[in-house]
Structure 1
Amino acid sequence: MTSQPEANTKPEKDSEQSVAAKLLIELGPLLVFFGVNAAYGIFAGTGAFMAATVLSLSLAWWLYHKVPVMPLVSAVIVLAFGGLTLYLQDDTFIKLKPTIVYAMFAILLLAGLFARKPVLALLFGPVFNLTDEGWRKLTLRWAVFFIAMAVLNEYVWRNYSTDTWVSFKAFGFLPITFLFAMAQVPLMQRYGLAEDKSPD
């Protein structure tokens, strides 16, 4: 009789651990970047950011045996532009990284729309069941969002100090993205397809 509550709490613990691991993978490198930059400057922060990014991808592979496409693309650009930043001792390159990533995602999404193959449907079709019009609208919204984020990054790093840009990158971009994603829930509900359910 006493074993049943323990069995019920195990899935909850597994779910909490999964959420914590995903937060660590997503936020860990940014927090390392912020902390090391505050203590030792942008170049030390860039090196720590690169190392933390590699570690986070390794952790994702170890836990899930796969690495999501978007974090992988972002990591490649972090290593490329971070390497240029350290080699040339010019922090412009690491500041350009978010602009390049957001612009690449926007171009990819718009190209998929032009080819009548929404990229989001290819990536998230197994998870979300939307109509064709729903996928088109959702893809267009995310493309516009990524363009806006690229412009925002350019504005911040060109008009504010390096420390301000690092703080905004660590604590601004992710909450904005999360809020935008949550704002798309009504659209996904409106254009969602009901799943077929068997009599069983």
Structure 2
Amino acid sequence: MTDKKSNAVMKQVLELGPVLLFLAGYIYLREETLTIGGRDYDGFIVITGLFVPLLIASNAALWKLTGKVSRIQIMTLVMVVVFGGLTVWLNDERFFKMKSTIVFGIFAALLGIGLARGQSWLEFVLDGAIPLTHAGWMALTKRLTLFLVGMSVANEIIWRSFSTDVYVAWDTFGQMAAMFAFFISQSGLMNRHWEEEGDDKTDA
């Protein structure tokens, strides 16, 4: 029992630790300009460069601890590596800032393709973790698709219209809070479509 609790705590540390360290590093370096290899980099780009290997290491440790990494975590890691790498290589913070726009957009597009085929790819992504009926998965997927489109638009507005400080707050806490609020708001739908003994309830 103690081992399970320890593993649960370690899992939380590995999932949230990189984000919190990114925030702390940004706060510490945001006013700094560092010269590396004869090239000047501002604090945001330096901490982005450090965040990429940190996230890779945390996902590797998470996989070793639990034996698996979710599809969403793998997708996020790939996008961070690609756009974080471009940010450092081209010395342009815009690439990292547009990362969430593209991630949310890709997920919305994929879910939309699944819906057009009469399928809920959200159920596949979540490995069927929630015991919902087919109608429930379809309704939740439709709502999440619209929500992700909104999140993609919101990210574009925020990084283009506000300061880097505002963007970092949005990227580290705002997006997480918005996702949490969305799923909490869907509790009524989930209750109506909770699958018990094969029953399928219709969406209201």
In the TM superposition, what is the alpha-carbon distance from 1:97 to its structure 2 partner?
A: 0.5
1:168 to 162, 167, 170: 170
Q: Please give the residue correspondences for 1:40-119 in structure 2 after superposition, counting only pairs within 5 Å.
A: 40=29, 41-119=43-121
Residues 91 and 61 (structure 1 numbering): CA distance in 2 closer, same or farther, change over 3 Å? same
Contact 1:81 1:97 in 2 (8 A): yes
Pair 52,125 (structure 1): closer, same or farther in 2 beyond 3 Å: closer
Secondary structure of the corresponding residue to residue 138 of structure 1: helix
Tell me the CA shift for residue 38 of structure 1: 1.6
Q: 2:132 aligns with which of 130, 133, 146?
A: 130
Output the TM-score relative to the length of structure 2: 0.84
Do 2:72 and 2:125's aligned partners in 1 also have CA atoms closer than 8 Å?
A: no
| Distance in 1 separating the partners of 2:159 and 2:125 | 31
Q: How many residues align?
A: 185
Kept in 2, the 8 Å contact 1:82–1:94? The answer is yes
Number of the residue aligned with 1:146: 148
Which residue number in structure 2 is paired with residue 27 of structure 1? 16
Q: Is the 8 A contact 1:25 1:60 kept in 2?
A: yes
TM norm structure 1:
0.86
Give the whole-Å Cα distance in 2 for the aligned partners of 1:145 and 1:38.
Answer: 30
SS in 2 for 1:172: helix
Deviation at 1:125, TM superposition (A): 5.6
TM-aligned CA distance change 1:124 to 1:168, over 3 Å: closer
In 1: Cα distance, 2:91 partner to 2:124 partner: 40
How far apart, CA to CA, are the structure 1 residues paired with 2:145 and 2:195? 23
- Aligned-residue offset at 1:22: 3.1
Distance across 2 between alignment mates of 1:99 and 1:15: 36
What are the Cα deviations for residues 98-124 of structure 1, in whole angstroms up to 9, with x where unaligned?
111111111111110001121022234
CA 1:131–1:150: 2 relative to 1, 3 Å: same
CA distance in 1 between counterparts of 2:182 and 2:62 reads 24
Q: What amino acid is the match of 1:34?
A: L
User: Residue 24 of structure 1: CA displacement?
Assistant: 2.0
Structure 2 letter corresponding to 1:42: F
- Cα deviation, residue 129, structure 1: 2.2
| Shift in alpha-carbon separation, 1:76–1:124, aligned structure 2, 3 A | closer
Q: CA RMSD in A?
A: 1.6
